Amino acid sequence: MSDITNSELDRRTLLRRAAAVGLAATPAVGMLSACVGGGEEDTTDQATGTKSADNPLGVDPKAPIEIVIFDGGLGTKYATDVDTPLYNKKWPESKVAYSATQEISTTVQPRLNAGDAPDMINNSGAKMMDFGAIVAAGQAQDLTELYAAPSFDIPGKTVAETLVPGTAEWGSYTGKPYALNYSYTVFGLWHNATLFEKNGWALPATWAEFTALCDKIQAAGIVPFGYAGANAAYYMVRALLTSAGKIGTEQVLKDIDNLKPGAWTAPAVLEAAKAWGEIGKKYLDKSFLGLKHTEVQLQQNQDKVAFYPCGSWLENEQAKDTPPTFKYAVAPYPSVTTSDKLPAAAMNAAAGEIYFASSKGKNPRGGMEYLRVMLSKEAATEFTKLTKSLTVVLGAADGVELSPGLTSANAALTKAGKDVFMGYLFDTWYKKLGDESLSAVNDLMFKGGDAQKFCDRMEAASQALAKDSSVQKQIRS
């Protein structure tokens, strides 16, 4: 494996990528059509300290802090072995209570509703909470002070100045930042480069090449393409909509986010649904509908599945089950038509993995300070080493020897150049619509559902939401 060093992950590279995905332009997340509810917070019992140059967020040095981390593809060692020790080094009198879960909504939502919220929460996974509803209920801390505060370990810079431009805006609702999207994720067709090299399989650039290769893979006794229907349908939604974005540009996805009439039945979405529906009929093992993500991923590690649609957390998530001969690599989703508006090399990459401080917890300032620790260069560098994932902290991966998968992801981003796009937000903004997309894509892929039915179903759900005055709407520009 060749090392990726400073020259390949420098500030200009990340800035270029940020601009390409729309982060460096005007805020991607616009204003809600109405103000959030929840009213003023009762901060009577919340811990506070005296603000100073050494304590810019006004943390109570002795106040305990509670954090809850999602135990998924990124693992939890970055929290237990890096972030928490750094926090304790800074605030030795503060006790950090830590827990991890794979079911965030089950564990945390009742506590938010009961007024017993943890101070910092990693909202992720198949059972992530509806973050738009959390913001609307006034349960998320405004992070404006965090981004304006001095960096934890980079002198002379604010936190915001150390991050990929637009990081704060991407997690904004009603014009204010509430979510920190920490991990920079590359999405595509993940595969074992060793297996492909061994069989002389060239990565496809066109859909005809893709299906022809799937035929070869199938003839070799390997499932050409797979994902887990039980809890990873999100991966397939992203694959389908990435193809739609390549066919018609990211505007197709912005229209979906903005609940524009006809967005889901647009030609680009229909073409993508038709193409992927055929893959489901011909090349997908239907038994995967009842499997969880790690079960299908294990089959891929055993070379029983060739292509897996996922993000760059995959390599770390499967580390304990990956044999030495398995070399993770990622390829862009092939062009669906001969007239796609974005080239075959175009990639979907995004800042994701939500972390937030609870505004109604006992120590929201401690929650923000924990995020400031996470956004230090030291913490971000160690995160990349431990998780094989980039962060939004500029330059944090400089000099780090990257894994095969992350090396491949970086090479794909470099090849894509300006044709890296962010994707969509509707599933984060409107959880009910996101859930509908999971069911709809499983029907399309596993049950022989046709593309028009998929598009019509999602269009109906989108427009029902658009007409529901009880749901606060958001605008993506």
The phi, psi pair for 209, rounded to 5°, reads -65, -35
**Separation of first and last alpha carbons in the chain:** 40
What is the CB-side half-sphere exposure of residue 208 using CA atoms within 13 A?
2
User: What's the domain range around 322?
Assistant: 187-347+426-466
Using a 10 angstrom Cβ sphere, with 0-12 exposed, 13-18 middle and 19 or more buried, the burial of residue 410 is buried
- In CATH, what number is assigned to the domain containing residue 224? 3.40.190.10
Could you give the CA distance from residue 387 to residue 422 in angstroms, rounded to a whole number? 21
Of 404, 421, 438, the residue at which a domain comes to its end is 421
Residue linked to tokens 């480069």? 193
For residue 301, what pLDDT is reported?
98
Residues 6+ apart with CB under 8 A from 211: 278, 279, 282
Strand ranges in 63-125 using DSSP code E only, listed in sequence order? 65-70, 96-101, 120-123
Task: Please report, to the nearest 10 degrees, the dihedral formed by the alpha carbons of residues 199, 205, 206, 208 taken in order.
Answer: 0
Amino acid at 239: A
Task: Flag whether 56 is in a domain.
Answer: yes
Structural domain count, the chain = 2
Render each residue's pLDDT in the chain as its tens digit; 477 residues.
Answer: 333 333 333 333 433 343 333 333 323 332 222 223 334 444 457 989 999 999 999 999 999 999 999 999 899 999 999 999 999 999 999 999 999 999 999 999 999 999 999 999 999 988 899 998 999 999 999 999 999 999 999 999 999 999 987 788 778 887 899 999 999 889 999 999 999 999 999 999 999 999 999 999 999 999 999 999 999 999 999 999 999 999 999 999 999 999 999 999 999 999 999 999 999 999 999 999 999 999 999 999 999 999 999 999 999 999 999 999 999 999 999 999 999 999 999 999 988 899 999 999 999 999 999 999 999 999 999 999 999 888 999 989 888 888 999 999 989 998 999 999 989 989 988 999 999 999 999 999 999 989 999 999 999 999 999 999 999 888 888
User: Is the domain of 236 the same as that of 316?
Assistant: yes
DSSP assignment of 121-180 equals EEE-STT---HHHHHHTT-B---HHHHHSBPSSSTT-BTGGGB-TTHHHHTEETTEE--E
Look at residue 1 and tell me if it is in a domain. Answer: no
**For residue 242, what pLDDT is reported?**
98
Q: How many angstroms separate the Cα of 55 from the Cα of each of 51, 52, 179, 365, 372?
A: 5, 5, 22, 10, 11
Tokens of 96: 């950090």
State residue 184's pLDDT score: 87
- With a CB cutoff of 8 Å and minimum separation 6, the contacts of 107 are 68, 99, 101
Element (H, E) at 186: strand 180-192
pLDDT at 47: 86
pLDDT at 112: 94
Inter-residue contact 63 to 87 (CB < 8 Å): no
Other beta carbons less than 10 A from residue 98's beta carbon: 15
Residue 107 and residue 176 share a domain: yes
Counting DSSP H helices and E strands in the chain, the numbers are: 20, 12
161 exposure class (CB count in 10 Å sphere: 0-12, 13-18, 19+): middle
Whether residues 14 and 116 fall in one domain? yes
Same structural domain, 365 and 303: no
Say if CB 22 and CB 422 are below 8 A apart. Answer: yes
In a domain, 476, yes or no: no
In a shared domain, residues 22 and 139: yes
Shared domain for 416 and 434, answered yes or no, is: no
Nearest to 353 by CA among 125, 163, 177: 125
3-state helix, strand, coil in the chain (%, to 5): 45, 15, 40
Half-sphere exposure (Cβ direction) of 328: Cα atoms closer than 13 Å: 32
- How far is the C-alpha of 123 from the C-alpha of 367, rounded, in Å? 14
- Which is nearest to 401 in space by CA: 381, 377, 380? 381
Assess whether 57 and 95 both reside in one domain.
Answer: yes
475 found inside a domain: no
Residues 81 and 199 in one domain: no
Cα radius of gyration (the chain): 22
Interaxial angle between packed helices 11-20 and 404-416, expressed in degrees from 0 to 180 and rounded to the nearest 10: 60
Residues in contact with 292: Cβ distance below 8 Å, sequence separation at least 6, in sequence order: 228, 230, 231, 232
Question: In the prediction, which pLDDT does 175 show?
Answer: 80
Cα gap 345→409, rounded to integer Å: 12
Predicted confidence at residue 12, as pLDDT, reads: 35
User: Exposure string (b/e) for 365-380, b if CB count within 10 Å is 16 or more?
Assistant: bbbbbbbbbbbbbbbb
Identify whether residues 127 and 251 lie together within a single domain: no
Question: Would 473 be classed as within a structural domain?
Answer: no
Which residue in the block uniquely carries the two structure tokens 């427009």? Answer: 463
pLDDT at 229: 98
Compute the residue count for the chain: 477
Q: Verify that 215 and 329 share a domain, yes or no.
A: yes
Tell me: do 335 and 438 sit in the same domain.
yes
Which segments within 56-119 are labelled E, that is strand? Answer: 65-70, 96-101
Q: Answer left, alpha or beta for residue 267, where phi above 0 means left and psi between -120 and 50 means alpha.
A: alpha
Residue 29 lies in a domain: yes
